Each structure stands twice: as C-alpha cells, then as structure tokens.
Structure 1
Amino acid sequence: MLEVILLVFFRIVFFIAFSPVLSSRTFPAVLKVALAIFLTIISLSTISITSLPELTWGVTFLFLLLKEMMLGFAMGFIGQLMFTAVEIAGQLIDFQVGFSMAQVYDTTFQISGSQYGKLNYWLATCVFFITNLHHQLIRGIVESFILVPVGTVTFPGVTIEGIVKVFSQTIEMAVNLAAPIVIALLVIDLILGILARTVPQINLLLLSLPLKTGVSFFFALLLLPNIASFLNKILPTSIQFIQEMLHSFS
C-alpha cells in the first residue's frame, strides 16, 4: 500500500511543480504540499488496489517511480505551454515596439520577462480562473489514474509525434496572438521609412520610439476584448492536449 501511495504522490507533486499557475513562486509552498496530499487522498479512492501489479521495493520500484514523475512532469508541462505561447506573443510585440532592452527581472519566474509578455500572462491567468479551467486541470490529474493506472506507465512512439504537434501549435498560437499589433507596427515602420526618404531632415529615432509605443498601447487596449476571447479559445486546448496524451498512454 505504501508503494502505491508514493507512486500516486510523486505523479501529483511533479504535476503541480510544472503546471500553470500552481507552479508559480507566488503560490505558497505549504499550499502546494497540502494540495498534493489532498489530491493524493482523492486519487487513492479511484484506484483499485487489487487490479495493480505486485509492487516491491528495489530497482524496479525506483524505475516505476521515475516513470510516474515523468508522466506528472509531461502533464504539467503541456498545460504550461499555452501560457508560454502568450509570453512568446508578448516578446514578439516587445521586439517590434523596441521594448526588448527594457525587460525587467520577474521575481515570479526568476527570469527577465517582457512587458507585453507579463501583460498577456496575467490576462491569461484571469481567463484561466474565470472559465474554471483550474477545476478541469485538477480533475484531469485525478482522472489520469483511471486512464493510466500507477505502475503501468509506458511511453509509446506516438508520444514524440504528439509533442512535436503540440509545440508547432504553440508557436502558431503565439504568432496569431501577436499578429494584429505586430502588423500595425510594421505599417508604422513602412510609413516612417517613406518619410525618411521624402523628408530627411526629420529625426526618425526620436519620432519612432514614442509613436510606436503609443500605437502599441492603442491597439492593445482596442483589441483587449478580442485578446481575451482568443485566450478563452486557446487555453482549453491545453486540457485537450493532456487528455490526448493520456489516451495515447492508455
């Protein structure tokens, strides 16, 4: 029984450690441990102990424990990919505006984050909780023990193809999210280029920075409802990706 509890606990712990929002450094570590214990107790009620293979201490058990940790990591990482997409979109916008040199240290993730990337991340977090996706995420980790029982985790070859597909869709979503503002800024660059050829006396360096910043702010506010609607469509796909991965394992 102790072996089963450890396998369940480590899958949930690694899922929480890499899942969206829950893995944030602002989320207290005590609450993470309490949530892991609570989900372990709930998940144990869905497991049929008699149907599990015989588990004994040793190298084989450590190997099973490693596979459970890898499955928890994979589920959390796939759930985090949609938030990574919105941050990539923000970095694309920052690069076009000229905010790349104005990146600040983000204490939440211990990295230097872009301005629009942080804006998109917190907007995605709001949509994540408003649409109750955190409930579906937690339900997914509990139901994973029904689709992929403990001690039976295997990594089929189709998983690699699925990971490549998920990464390609993540980049596609990031480009789609950043495209409206980036296109508007490219038009501004085109206009400034024409002005530079027709009126060389204009100091375009002093003109372009505030102009592109103002245009980016204007379009960000103008497209805010559309961005929220787009996030409402793409964030649930992370749950879908997790379910598809679990079905491939089962």
Structure 2
Amino acid sequence: MVEITFDQLHGWLVAFLWPFCRISGLMLTSPLWGHSSVPRQAKIALAASLTVVMAPVLPAMPSVPLFSWAGLGIVIEQLLVGAAMGLVMRVTLVVVQATGEFIGLQMGLAFATFFDPASGTNMMVLSRILYTITLLMFLALNGHLMVLELLASSFQTLPIGLGRYDPAAFEMLARYGGTIFSFGMLLALPLVAALLIINLGLGILNRSAPQLTVFNIGFPASLTVGVVLLMVLMTDLGRVLQRLFGQGLTFLSEFLQVLAPLSG
C-alpha cells in the first residue's frame, strides 16, 4: 500500500503552487494569453500544464510552510513578478495600437470606433487592424515561445522565495511605458507629417478661396492619401515589428536581471 506523508504532500503542493502563481500572473496580463476572448478555463489549464512541465527542472523551493504568512507573501510575490513580465509585453504590443490612434486622428477616422472588450474602452478600427496584424506577426516570429523561454529562465535568475527585489526595476518598468508614445509616434510620423501638410494646405486654400468647401475636399483627400501611405507603410511594417519585438524581449531580459541584485 502506497503511503503519502504530510511532508511529501506539502512538498508537492509547494513545488506546483508557487511556480503556478508566477506563470498565472503572466497569463493574466500578457496581451496574447490574457486576452478576454481566451476562456478562463483555458488560461488556467495552460498555466497548470506549463507548471507541470517546468516544475522538475526548477531550483529547490524554500522551506516555508505553505499555509503561513510567509507562504502568502511568496504567492503575492510570484504573482507580481509574473504580472510585471506580462505588462512588459503588453506595453510592447500596445505601441502599434497607439500608432493606429495617431494615424486615425489625422485621417479623420476618429468616429470609426467600436467597443473593445479587452481594454474596456472604444478603439479605432485602424488601431484594431494594426494590433491584430502585430499579434499575428508576434506568433509568426515565435515571440510567444521566446517569452516562455524567458519565463522558464526567470526561475533561475529570480528563485522563488528571494524575498527582496531592487525597486529600481519597477521604476525602469514605469519608464518603459514611454515607449508607447515615443516609438508609436516615430512609426506614425511619416503619415502624420504628410497629412498635417495636407491640412495646412487646405487651411491656406480656405483663406484664399472661401467659396470652396474645405470639408467636402479635405476629408476625401486626407482619407485617400492616408490609405495610400498606409499601403506604403505595410511594405516595411515587418522589419519595424521585428525591431519592436526584439526591443521588448531585450528589455524583459534586462528587467529580470535588474530585479536580482538584492538576492545576496
């Protein structure tokens, strides 16, 4: 008869629960697995499957009782680490969404919006199209596998029960949020500049020839030029997205390294 002692059961629960919390934090906040269209049961099942696969190769767990305040602190700690990793990838992919917002405003498509259940706000159609293309490109370039690789290596860089983290890493994460505006505007700058020149030209035309109706000319001109420039942008979008993904994955690796120095 097989007998299981309490110490064995406790060891199995600890080896599964704490890594599961870090992986679940990533699944909840990442833009791909954390999307509202993915059922919660699927997220939990995927997190549990990854935990079972990674658990045998993880470092030894701390000798902390699971049902204690210290055990609860480790659970919260792992959730925060996983959520921070997911937030890095979300910021990286939202850059293209911000690009669509900037371009759509200049093209006169601010009225073409619909409710996005993932963010809980209205989103421009152009932003949604670019964001969908970005997600598909992220999958095509195996970006999700690279994120899972960094997740697995994070258990070596940041062992469970480390207890202390460098606050500078979270400041670094907050500053990384500026990438949404800097890189997003840089990507949209060619279209925004061209459409701005068209709007200035229409303003001058309205002053010199008031009998012309600028609204009847401006919207079709801005929309036509915007669509043509978007076609040109799409030809080089793959290279830009590769650079964006590489920058995001590099920052994620650096973020995990910055969290670690206080371990000693």
TM-score range, shorter chain: over 0.9
1:29 aligns with 2:22: no
1:228 aligns with 2:238: yes
Task: Point out where structure 1 has 5 or more consecutive residues left out of the alignment.
Answer: none
Which residue is 1:85 aligned to? 95
Distance 1:227 1:195 in 2: 34
Q: State the Cα distance separating 1:149 from its structure 2 match.
A: 1.1
Q: State the Cα distance separating 1:65 from its structure 2 match.
A: 0.8
Q: State the Cα distance separating 1:242 from its structure 2 match.
A: 1.3
Contact 1:16–1:36, Cα closer than 8 Å, also in 2? yes
Summarize deviations over 1:135-167 as a string: whole Å, max 9, x none: 101111111111111111533132133124312
Change (3 A) 1:108 1:167: closer
Task: List 4+ stretches of structure 1 deviating above 6 A.
Answer: none
Which residue is 1:205 aligned to? 215
Contact 1:39–1:142, Cα closer than 8 Å, also in 2? no
- Alignment partner of 2:27 out of 6, 12, 16: 16
Distance 1:28 1:197 in 2: 56
Distance 1:193 1:242 in 2: 46
User: Secondary structure of 1:100's match?
Assistant: coil
Distance 1:169 1:154 in 2: 27
| Counterpart residue type for residue 39 of structure 1 | L
Contact 1:46–1:146, Cα closer than 8 Å, also in 2? no
- Alignment partner of 1:6 out of 4, 14, 17: 17
| Counterpart residue type for residue 38 of structure 2 | F
- Alignment partner of 1:64 out of 50, 58, 74: 74
Q: Which moved more, 1:81-90 or 1:109-118?
A: 109-118
Which residue is 1:113 aligned to? 123
Which residue is 1:131 aligned to? 141
Contact 2:59–2:155, Cα closer than 8 Å, also in 1? no
Contact 2:23–2:51, Cα closer than 8 Å, also in 1? yes
Which residue is 1:241 aligned to? 251
Distance 1:162 1:77 in 2: 12
Distance 1:174 1:44 in 2: 38
User: Secondary structure of 1:20's match?
Assistant: coil
Distance 1:167 1:190 in 2: 32
**Pairs within 5 Å for 1:150-229:** 150-229=160-239
Distance 1:87 1:3 in 2: 39
Contact 2:98–2:180, Cα closer than 8 Å, also in 1? no
Distance 2:106 2:68 in 1: 55
| Counterpart residue type for residue 205 of structure 1 | F
Distance 1:174 1:45 in 2: 41
Summarize deviations over 1:174-221 as a string: whole Å, max 9, x none: 111111111111011011012112211110012111211111111101
| Counterpart residue type for residue 32 of structure 1 | K
Distance 2:30 2:187 in 1: 22
Q: State the Cα distance separating 1:48 from its structure 2 match.
A: 2.9
Please tell me the root mean square deviation across aligned C-alpha atoms, in Å. 1.6
| Counterpart residue type for residue 46 of structure 1 | V
| Counterpart residue type for residue 53 of structure 1 | P
Q: State the structure with more CA Rg.
A: 2
